[in-house]
Chains A and B, each alone.
Chain A
Amino acid sequence: MKYNWKIGGEAGFGIMTSGLTVSKIATRSGYHIFDYAEYPSLIRGGHNTYEVAFSYEEIHSPLTQVDLLVCLNKETYEFHKHRLVRESRVIYDPEMLEVTEDVIKIPVPFTKIKKDEQIQQQMLNSVAVAASISLLGADLSVLEQMIHEQFDRKGEDVVKFNLHLAGIGYEHITSSGAQKLEVLKHRPETPTKLVMTGNEMFSLASIPADCRHYASYPMTPASSVLGILAAWQYKAGIVVRHPEDEISVINSALGSAFAGVRSAVGTSGGGFALMVEALSYAGVAEIPVVVFLSMRPGPATGLPTWTEQGDLLFAVHAGHGEFPKVVLTPGDVDEMAELTLVAYDLADIYQIPVIITSDKFLSESHKDVDKAWIDQLFASHTPNRGKIVHDTEQSPYLRYKLSEDGISEMLIPGKEGVFYQANSYEHIEDSHTTEDAIVRKQQVDKREKKVETYLKNHFKMPKIYGDLDSADIVFISWGTNKGPILEAQKTLNGSHKTAYIHFTYVYPLPEKEIQELFDRCKGKRIILIENNAHGQFGRLLRMLTGITIEEKVLKYDGRPFFPEELVQHVLSEHVHQSEGHLSTQEDVMAKLAERID
């Protein structure tokens, strides 16, 4: 069972709140969820939507078919009616719009309720959510509990009124005689689940990771991390700052990292562009820092509230000069938890910048996470600071001492009788500036040795979903395409044998091991899937390993992949090899519809 609920209305209607409420009602009723919101870069007006897909099984991406569409305005119906099927239901106000498609109509008189109850538009959300869950068979008590959690601190009257509105929506469906479903019926086994976005998980995991200084300048879609950590800073005893610009952000993070505390910054492409000079400083002076880079479509201001994987090569190449760095690309909220812990450790162990990427799709979509798993993951984590120490035996102190693994001891400032500098100029072992040819080469070689050490000790090969050896079709991708690909694999399973090679440790890569992995794919149909126009991971793969993938599915309209698009690509007999550029989701859906007809 998979079911897809979607609500739409004007920005400012409270669409986001209702969506999250439905997600949490579903998880608290024992279901897995994946939700996805679309909104323009505006505060009021414009069209906002929020969809929640839920299932008995884990669900990894939004679904194309909408089973219940809740229309708080006319546009919602007009914009999304093409995603309805005959069994779909539409909750709508007959005073507002007419439902023309052959679907199941569920009229709810929002306009009249608003007038009778003398309420603001936002409060209609309680009615709409209650009507939805009534129709879907959820217990009203789950919603009532959430209303208490949300409004108890605002006083009894507010709680009572919201319960009253929920009652109106819930009862309206019951008394209307509409046929109720059981798709959200409370399930007996409901392990505690968290409902989290990628940004929320990066924030949360940064706490057990012992991040003590987070600096950020707001930029969609990374901004929410700043707000979350800022709110926690007093209890957690950490410092969260919003400096004057991204240049100050990263340089202050390098300052605190030098002075001994784990430090991170967060931004999107434009802000990251301002940070890259300092990234290079972190490289030469060997200062650990974690960069949370949540991508959105560029160039320049681009499409601020939409998604794209357009900054992979920028991240890989960020910073002038040559220095080691690590780029990690979690594919979902679970991997965000794991890789956030890893990112802070790697930054310290190798004394390098570590970039952990997200994108609007992961940063702002909620997925359910098993709470027991998270508790265990965090409880079992002990930060590894590598050679960062509070004390030293060395005298004189050699901050950049040559070593077999490329990593030198980094003393946290404060020990008496010792001093050194984090020098952005090339330097000798004791950190003083040099222009000596031999020393220069030694220090470059020392820094580069970290790559070798990392590939040996900490690099992880991509995960493989499906049986690679028996598969006929192999998907290659990275980061957040994971969800749509896993869902597409489920659909294709009946007719095709597929495997998915999912990269999360994307840079650097070990040439030989990756070549050996691709040797196992010989003779198979290999498809590169990326949410960008250049096929950037494909280029990276070619650059680092010589492997070329001809068949590509590239999407760059600001929207994430829908699994059905990938299925469509695989099924299409006229696949325009290597030119599989999808123009818009609508085109693909139209093609898919033709095929089904």
Chain B
Amino acid sequence: MTNVSFDAYTPTWCPGCGDWGIRVGIKTALTQMGLDPSKVLLSFDIGCSGNMNDFLNGYAMHGLHGRALATAIGMKVANHDMTAIVIGGDGGLYGEGGNHFLHACRGNHDITVIVHDNMVYGLTTGQVAPTAEEGFVSKSTPHGIIETPVNPLALAITQGATYVAQGFAGDARLIIELIKGAVAHKGFSLVNILQPCVTFNKINTYQYYLQKTYKLDESYDPTNKQQAIQKSLEVTEERFPLGLLYKTERKCYHEHMTQLDKPLVHKDRFTDYSSFVEEFI
């Protein structure tokens, strides 16, 4: 262990914002797993959640809005021995970066994706997010949003993610447990965290979630894909299961790359290329 801590600057989030709890959940989970900032590759999206770049230490990229998954995949390609974590919001990861999300699930990249799902764009001061309920009124949808919401859990399960969980910003203990499970899991892990935006979302409040969420009980079997899909569809009835919905074992992306006998960054330079040259004679 080194003496560096995950604690960086004091967050600038609004008092009462769910991000506070999520950050505590992340750093506690990582610390409990024996990790420290020098052992993790973090990829932050852009937004209030992505601003955690200055509040959580690590070897990090704070890249472009919507692209945190793409950068994380590259980080993992270069060094698959390090833990890779994506931290972002619903706008970046399901909206602008929705395409990357879909394909990252398919690839089963060994990455943990922690999504702050608050159904609204906070940092740009209150426009609708792709997870918002149909009819949600916001600055960009004064007459209510027309589109039906993205269903991240169903999307992840059906597109090939191998660890799909949902937490709630008001339950730090559960977040810690789910993130530890996700980081330990080899493969693409989604931890979708329901998070009230106290400033711009007056609908999906702590009170709302306390009423609409429930914990999956111990009898729930996360290896049952059909059942997991059923659970993921409950959002249409405004019911939000909390816990590990789905888990399966599948070879992750870098394990398919037989040339990666060790991390790409630690390999010796390849110099035996004379046969490549000879292909052109």
CB contact between A243 and one of B9, B70, B261 (< 8 Å): that residue: B70
Secondary structure at the A interface, as helix, strand, loop or mixed, is: mixed
How near does chain A come to B212, taking the closest CB pair, in angstroms?
A: 33
Contact B264 A256 (CB under 8 A): yes
Listed by A's residue number, 23 A-B pairs whose Cβ atoms lie within 8 Å are A236-B270, A244-B100, A244-B103, A248-B100, A251-B71, A252-B73, A252-B74, A252-B77, A256-B74, A258-B78, A259-B59, A261-B77, A285-B63, A375-B274, A383-B269, A413-B79, A413-B82, A417-B3, A418-B4, A419-B37, A419-B60, A421-B59, A433-B54
A interface with B by C-beta (< 8 Å) = 24, 28, 192-196, 200, 204, 207-208, 210, 212-213, 215, 232-239, 241, 243-245, 247-248, 251-261, 263, 277-278, 281, 285, 369, 371, 374-375, 378, 383, 412-425, 432-433
Residue of A nearest to B42 (CB): A421
Residues in B neighbouring A424, C-beta threshold 8 A: 46, 62-64
Contact B41 A259 (CB under 8 A): yes
Residue of B nearest to A423 (CB): B62
Residues in A neighbouring B210, C-beta threshold 8 A: none
Contact A378 B70 (CB under 8 A): no
Assuming the contacts A212-B264, A261-B265, asked whether A255 and B59 have C-beta atoms less than 8 A apart, the reply is no
* Interface contact tally, CB-CB below 8 A: 204
How near does chain A come to B107, taking the closest CB pair, in angstroms?
A: 9
Please report the total number of B residues contacting A with Cβ < 8 Å: 59
Does B124 sit at the interface, judged by CB under 8 A? no
How near does chain B come to A468, taking the closest CB pair, in angstroms?
A: 35
Residue of B nearest to A149 (CB): B281
Contact B273 A248 (CB under 8 A): no
Residues in B neighbouring A237, C-beta threshold 8 A: 259-261, 264, 267, 270
Residues in A neighbouring B275, C-beta threshold 8 A: 235
14 more A-B residue pairs beyond the given contacts A204-B277, A255-B43, A259-B79, with a C-beta to C-beta distance below 8 A:
A208-B273, A234-B258, A237-B260, A239-B264, A247-B67, A255-B61, A255-B76, A258-B78, A259-B75, A260-B78, A278-B63, A416-B36, A417-B3, A432-B9
Residues in B neighbouring A257, C-beta threshold 8 A: 74, 78
Contact A252 B71 (CB under 8 A): yes
Residue of B nearest to A368 (CB): B280
The residues in B between 17 and 51 inclusive whose CB is less than 8 angstroms from any CB of A are: 36-38, 41-44, 46, 51
Residues in B neighbouring A248, C-beta threshold 8 A: 67, 70, 73, 99-100, 103
The residues in B between 178 and 195 inclusive whose CB is less than 8 angstroms from any CB of A are: none
The residues in B between 216 and 259 inclusive whose CB is less than 8 angstroms from any CB of A are: 257-259
Secondary structure at the B interface, as helix, strand, loop or mixed, is: mixed
Assuming the contacts A248-B100, A252-B74, A424-B64, asked whether A414 and B38 have C-beta atoms less than 8 A apart, the reply is yes
Contact B257 A239 (CB under 8 A): yes
Contact B265 A419 (CB under 8 A): no
Contact B54 A432 (CB under 8 A): yes
Does B10 sit at the interface, judged by CB under 8 A? no
Contact B38 A251 (CB under 8 A): no
Residue of A nearest to B72 (CB): A255
Give A210 to B280 CA distance when docked, in angstroms: 20
**Interface flags, B62-92, vs A, CB<8A=1, else 0:** 1110010011111111110010000000000
Does B145 sit at the interface, judged by CB under 8 A? no
Residues in A neighbouring B207, C-beta threshold 8 A: none
Assuming the contacts A212-B267, A213-B78, asked whether A416 and B70 have C-beta atoms less than 8 A apart, the reply is no
Give A233 to B77 CA distance when docked, in angstroms: 13
Residues in A neighbouring B76, C-beta threshold 8 A: 255
